[in-house]
Amino acid sequence: MRKYIFLGILIVGVLFSACKQKPKTPPAPKKSEVKEIQKQLQVNIKRYEQALYNIPKDSLENGMKALEADYACFWGDFTLQEAVQLTKYHLEDKSYKPLYEAVQKQFPDLTNLEKQFAEAFSLLLYYFSDAAVPQIYTFISGLDYENFVMYYPDRLFIPLDLFLGKDYKLYKQLGANVPQFIKRRFSTEYILPTCLGEISYKYISAKPQNSNLLDAMILEGKFLLFLELLLPNFPDSLIFPFPQEKIEWAKENEADIWADFIQKNYLYSRDKTVIRKLVGEAAFTSYYGGNSPGRIGAWIGWRICRSWVEKNPQKKITELFAEIDAQKILAESKYKPKK
């Protein structure tokens, strides 16, 4: 594991739980089967940040040695002695202490988060019986936004200092490097969508190369559908992370956007600029003005994937995730938005 993970120290907790229910295209899973799966699950989040700060300063080496069995994954290529020296440096670093204190205050307990992960993982195992449930760790990244949530086949690392709320005072020091529409995702309610978004890459097949816009749209649509399946009670604004008013704008203009894609031959374009403007991260989609959400092509891709599920009830959703022919998915979806 890369050495920068070592910078970690952190804590997670109270994830919001009162999301409004909304109609869903994906059929509801069999509750009895999901409950049986969940009975076998035990999600325990290991808190590296607390483990480090709880080590007595006068016995750092002994304390680190005691943590080796559970947390050596944070040390990468470092030896225990090197890890001790770096830990001493970070514990004495004044820039880390305020982050630790803020995390402790906002996330005093992880029970609710563990429960929500258990619910999501039970659905993951429902749809993918051979799925691997990772061990979850929390840590403090030092506001390292370039290395956000990190997922490996058996481990998931969550930097809780990047989920303290978009208005957290120390986020100001990130400046223009992180635009406001990204900072709004630095909130507690985005922990699960962000983590499961990283996990989704393992379960969704992608066309290896020479992609056109349709390929990119369908791929992004699969990612969003994956989140919707695992987070059935989360509102669209957390699955597709834009303000609800922008999502409403997309719904109201869906037919016109699709007609525009067809008229301008966007679907099969391999122009990187076109693809970036329609599925790349942005506060809004420049082709459609400031009222639109960014990544409007990804949103349309999600609608196409939803339509595929609705029009193909005899097929498993996993078939959609495995299919790499975007044109075939579009044809089978019979997607035709109404004005």
What share of the chain has pLDDT > 70, as a percent? 92
**pLDDT value for 25:** 62
* Same structural domain, 125 and 39: yes
Q: Which of 172, 199, 226 is the last residue of a domain?
A: 199
The full DSSP string for 200-227 is: HTTT-----S---HHHHHHHHHHHHHHH
**pLDDT value for 241:** 95
* Same structural domain, 244 and 179: no
Q: Which of 165, 199, 233 is the last residue of a domain?
A: 199
Q: Tell me, yes or no, whether 338 lies in a domain.
A: no
**pLDDT value for 198:** 96
Residues of the domain holding 119: 3-199
Q: Tell me, yes or no, whether 46 lies in a domain.
A: yes
Q: Tell me, yes or no, whether 207 lies in a domain.
A: no
CA distance 121 to 127: 10
**pLDDT value for 22:** 44
* Same structural domain, 84 and 183: yes
* Same structural domain, 251 and 188: no
Cβ pair 8, 83 in contact under 8 A = no
* Same structural domain, 180 and 273: no
Look up residue 247 and give its amino acid.
Answer: I
Q: Tell me, yes or no, whether 70 lies in a domain.
A: yes
* Same structural domain, 170 and 277: no
Q: Tell me, yes or no, whether 240 lies in a domain.
A: yes
* Same structural domain, 192 and 223: no
CA distance 241 to 76: 33
Q: Tell me, yes or no, whether 204 lies in a domain.
A: no
List pLDDT tens digits, range 133-143: 999 999 999 99
* Same structural domain, 314 and 217: yes
**pLDDT value for 18:** 32
Domains in the chain, number: 2
**pTM, two decimal places:** 0.89
Q: Point out the residues of the chain with pLDDT beneath 50.
A: 1-24
* Same structural domain, 218 and 192: no
List pLDDT tens digits, range 243-260: 999 999 999 999 999 999
Q: Tell me, yes or no, whether 114 lies in a domain.
A: yes
- CB-based burial, 110-122: b 16+ in 10 Å, e otherwise: beebbebbbbbbb
Q: Tell me, yes or no, whether 20 lies in a domain.
A: yes
CB neighbourhood size of 99 (10 A): 25
Cβ pair 274, 297 in contact under 8 A = no
β-pairing verdict for 46-47 and 155-159: unpaired
Sign of CA dihedral 213, 219, 223, 226: positive
* Same structural domain, 46 and 190: yes
* Same structural domain, 193 and 262: no
Cβ pair 50, 140 in contact under 8 A = no
* Same structural domain, 181 and 249: no
Q: Which of 171, 199, 227 is the last residue of a domain?
A: 199
